[in-house]
Amino acid sequence: MRIAIGSDHRGWQVKTRLIKVLQDAGHEMVDLGTNSSDSVDYPDIAAAVSSRVSEGAVERGILICGTGIGMSISANKFPGVRAATCQDAFVAEMSRRHNDVNVLCLGGDLLGERLVDDLVGIWLKTEFEGGRHGRRIDKIEQLER
């Protein structure tokens, strides 16, 4: 899978490690920054990742900031992007099964390495169920118009 990934200064170490884990699993990663602890504005990173998801240049995106909340708010401004902050396995799975979430937002200050790996793994392998959930996604897309 082709995945765009980005973080602010509070998530860059998680992002750097996650890129290697996902590349080792066979995914093509597009790193959109940042790459240091120097302060950056998370909406800029969210825009870089979300615009690529929105235009179809990548299949999915992953964003990491301190809590994941600011990234999620910013990412959801882009047409076709369905971003969610996930902090446990159930939410990560349901975000895909029922909401077809295509941008995963994580809190770099809140989650340990093992949990991040578990959440990303669940999120990547879980398929969208469609059916009644597809009808609801269609309604969300109508709101964007």
3-state DSSP helix/strand/coil % of the chain, to nearest 5:
50, 15, 35
Domain count, the chain: 1
| 52 φ, ψ (degrees, to nearest 5) | -70, -40
- Whether the full predicted model's pTM is greater than 0.85, yes or no, is yes
Could you read off the pLDDT of 72-125 as tens digits, one per residue? 999 999 999 999 999 999 999 999 999 999 999 999 999 989 999 999 999 999
Residue with tokens 């398929």: 127
Could you read off the pLDDT of 44-78 as tens digits, one per residue? 999 999 999 999 999 999 999 999 999 999 999 99
Query: Distance between CA 13 and CA 3 in Å, rounded?
Result: 17
DSSP string, 62-78: EEEESSSHHHHHHHTTS
The domain containing residue 98 runs over which residues?
Answer: 2-144
- Residue 54 sits in a domain whose CATH number is 3.40.1400.10
Catalytic residues: 65, 98
